[in-house]
Chain A
Amino acid sequence: MIVVEDIHVTFGRGTPLEKHALRGVDLTIPEGEFVTVIGSNGAGKSTFLGSLAGDVLAEQGRISIDGTDVTRWDTPRRAGLVARVFQDPMAGSCATLTIEENMALAAARGRRRGLASALGGDRRKGFRDRIAALGLGLENRLHDRMGLLSGGQRQAVSLLMATLAGSKILLLDEHTAALDPATADFVLDLTRRIVRDNRLTTLMVTHSMRQALDYGDRTLMLHEGRVVLDVAGEERAGLDVPHLLALFARQRGGAEISDDSLLIG
């Protein structure tokens, strides 16, 4: 379970470019819930996921994961609890290391890394079995460098890597945005399967309203650093894309008005 209490994040504090990117986010995400996150560019979605992963530390508020206060933990320390897949397929793996080396890196996430061989024992066989289950034929390419894979293959392997260390939280930041539609669908289906099989608590950022409603159990809309829509269950089931678009537009309109009033005030 993730509990977020009133977190604030400001970039470039005290400079002319100061940006108050998160302005009091309050959320409780129960174990095993699959949450989709939408919002316009600059709404703070990536910043929010980053604050859960430890990339940005909240200057105010509290974050706890499974009852542990992790507010001040940095990224490597939180990695034992949180796995991620990035938007850029290049970002989530090491291009010049082999597929199996990337998997070995991920399998040791959150553990002390010692001098034991990273690929010793029956590790290789374990990796081969896991990657064969993707159905991409990659089990015969474990010695290939990661950089040789296509973007979709890399994202698929990244998803698999996220499950190797047994952490229970998965953060996906537009992880299909760089893929062509067919590949994106494949990766999304894989996401659904992996989330279900491993019972992961998941946050998935997307720019597609369709995906936001089709996948997962709950949908959040962020706007200017706040959660402006939070729907689940019946209410969410009754929503369709035009509804959501209308809500989205209203949020943006509302924001413009408040901006104006700020100027006048």
Chain B
Amino acid sequence: MTEIALFGAIEIGLVYALVAIGVYLSFRILDFPDLTVDGSFPLGAAVCAVLLIAGVNPWLASLAAALAGAAAGLVTATLNVRFKILHLLASILTMIALFSVNLRVMGRPNVALLMQDTVLTPFYGLGIPDHIVRPLVVGVIVAVVVLLLARFLGSEFGLAMRATGVNARMARAQGVDTDAHVYAGIALSNALTGLAGALFAQTNGFADVTTGIGTIVVGLAAVIVGETVLPARALALALVGCVAGSILYRLAVQLALSADAIGLQASDLNLVTAVLVAVALILPRLKAKASRSTKAAR
């Protein structure tokens, strides 16, 4: 793997670390399997790209992307909480709708960012090679997000959100408005995903409606890899695990793609990732089954 490819993998891993953290929030903390991210990731990219082209400040454009993601999350949460549609189906509905919305936002399937200033622009002139600047800047943003989120999840509000996911009945008996916490959590999860989309557009120089496909699976893969390499109970560490998982996942993908012997193409990525996630989900069951049957054999 070349140095450029290595830093490229770290960079994309860091961008998707925000998705992984969002997925961790919905799947793990709220126990709410939310596929909205397949739509909110390109939504963030689209909103950010269009605003950058309109001359908006890149930080404001990124913030707008996060807010757009949050709005998408609120739609899913409303369909589920208010109208009792199964969470998976609710999120699929939003995701499908977002495909059209994203086309509307951009006015065409993809938008290139050529001369526009991005959040990275001020850092390009500092004498550090571009391929290192990008992961550095994204890394700092991810670090800030992790710190803020760890602080948030340790607050009274955040604790109530975690209780909502673990034992909603108990949470309600403790005076927690569980519905409000589902709204807040799913909005936050998709805000992070929208922000990831915005960073993706700015680091790669384009937004494309099709970049969203498989976002959820990539996010899940990162969460699972993170949980495997860093099986932490402490919340802050689990968030760091999401980041580490996302980077490791990208490095593994990069290795696999650069090993000509395997003969993988970039377009095989979704298949490989889906298989990886499926295996990771099946393994614990097989292990449990194996230990049961060895016990029975004794």
Contacts and interface: CB of A to CB of B under 8 A. Distances in A.
Interface string A87-99: 0001111111100
A79 B173 CA distance: 6
Contacts of A108: 156, 160, 174-175
Contacts of B151: 117
A94 B167 contact: yes
Contacts of A101: 159, 162
Contacts of A114: 155-157
A254 B178 CA distance: 44
Q: Interface SS of chain A: helix, strand, loop or mixed?
A: loop
Contacts of B175: 76-77, 79-80, 108-111
A74 B160 CA distance: 17
Given A76-B178, A116-B155, A118-B156, A145 B233 contact: yes
Say what secondary structure dominates the interface of chain B: helix
A113 B160 CA distance: 8
Contacts of A105: 159-160, 163, 171, 174, 176
Interface in B128-156: 151-152, 154-156
Interface residues of B, number: 24
A118 B172 contact: no
A116 B158 CA distance: 10
Contacts of A93: 167, 170
A158 to B, nearest CB: 9
A106 B171 CA distance: 9
Interface string A138-172: 00000001000000000000000000000000000
A113 B177 CA distance: 10
A220 B243 CA distance: 57
Nearest to B152: A115
A53 interface: yes
Contacts of B152: 115
Contacts of B155: 113-118
A39 to B, nearest CB: 22
Interface in B260-285: none
Contacts of A115: 152, 155-158
A211 interface: no
Interface in A29-52: none
Contacts of A83: 173
Interface string A105-132: 1101111011111110000000000000
B154 A79 contact: no
B160 A79 contact: no
B166 interface: yes
A10 interface: no
A183 interface: no
B169 interface: yes
B167 A113 contact: no
A96 B28 CA distance: 11
A8 interface: no
A237 to B, nearest CB: 34
A104 B162 contact: no
B172 A76 contact: yes
Contacts of B157: 113-115
Given A76-B178, A106-B174, A145-B233, A119 B163 contact: no
Contacts of B173: 53, 75, 79, 83-84, 92
Interface centre among B151, B156, B176 (most CB of A within 10 A): B156
Contacts of B159: 97, 101, 104-105, 113, 118
Interface of A: 53, 75-77, 79-80, 83-84, 90-97, 101, 104-106, 108-111, 113-119, 145
Given A80-B175, A108-B156, A114-B155, 16 more contacts: A75-B172, A79-B173, A91-B167, A94-B162, A105-B159, A105-B160, A105-B163, A105-B174, A105-B176, A106-B174, A113-B155, A113-B156, A113-B160, A115-B155, A117-B151, A117-B154
20 contacts: A75-B173, A76-B176, A79-B173, A80-B175, A90-B167, A91-B167, A91-B170, A93-B170, A94-B163, A94-B166, A97-B159, A105-B160, A109-B174, A113-B155, A113-B156, A113-B176, A114-B156, A115-B155, A115-B157, A118-B155
